[in-house]
Amino acid sequence: MPDGSPEIFFTLQGEGRHTGAPSVFIRSSLCNLHCHWCDTPYTWNWKGKNLSHESGQTYERSEQIIQLSADQVAEIAGKHGCSRYVFTGGEPLLQERSWLELMAHLSESDADSHFEIETNGTLLPCEDFLKKINQLNVSPKLANSQVTEKLRYKPEICRDLATTGKADFKFVVGNQTDLEEILAIISAADIPADRVYLMALAATPAQLDRNHAWVAEQALAHGFSYCDRLHLRLYGAKRGT
């Protein structure tokens, strides 16, 4: 966070099947993609790397990363008295072993701890991780991310994640072209319709208001769920919420 503290915060889950549930979010740095419109470019867009982002802004890596041990993170995250944890990024699966360690610490102090992870669908977690995690929120990226298909499109990984029975797939959709691409991914990866959430492309509440009705209509037409952006409605595009 700008004040030098780690981005660990207590808020309402804003997306997906647990929308509205009080949750502790833990944001890890680093990503294996570099989406043009990423809303957390401070996790990967380092000065000198020559990656492109719509904001044109780059970040000093040493100013954006704080290194903590799993027990330090558990102490900070555990103080909210909430047993629902969401691991986010960046791409959190790049630090899979550390999350496993963290889950062990948190489960030790509260056996009812519930763990969710948000991931871009390009990395397959190990068996231990899949046993321990309760919910995977997978968000495969489309051509509109401006990331090469080779890096972002991994239908075989999405298929494996779908077979775990723990994965929901959340797609950000802005127009008909996006929707067609999404339908092709769903078909290639055999993702069951009841695991698909469509979410409107929006960075502000005003953009959300402009796009949500069409996206909701498409969700209904294809038997998918519509996913709002509760945190955007409640807090706007604000870091740490």
Binding site for ligand SF4 (CB under 6 A): 31, 33-35, 38, 40, 43, 89-91, 120, 141
Nearer to ligand SF4 by C-beta: 107 or 146? Answer: 146
Q: How far is the CB of 226 from ligand SF4 (least distance, A)?
A: 20
CB of 159 to ligand SF4, least distance (A): 19
Q: How far is the CB of 139 from ligand SF4 (least distance, A)?
A: 7
Cβ closest to ligand SF4, residue 146 vs residue 211: 146
Q: How many angstroms from the chain centroid is the CA of residue 58?
A: 21
Measured in residues, the chain has a length of 241
In the complex with ligand SF4, the residue whose CB is nearer, 118 or 228, is: 118
Amino acid found at 195:
R
Which residue, 35, 132, 37, 53, is CA-closest to 91?
Answer: 35
Residues 6 or more apart whose CB falls under 8 angstroms from that of 117 comprise: 86, 87, 88, 92, 93, 99, 125, 133, 135, 136, 137
Whether 33 contacts 91, CB under 8 Å = yes
- Least distance to ligand SF4 from the beta carbon of 152, Å? 8
By C-beta, is 34 or 166 nearer to ligand SF4? 34
Residue 88: CB minimum distance to ligand SF4, A? 8
**Which is closer to ligand SF4, CB of 74 or CB of 133?**
133
CA neighbor of 208 nearest in space, from 240, 178, 231, 182: 231
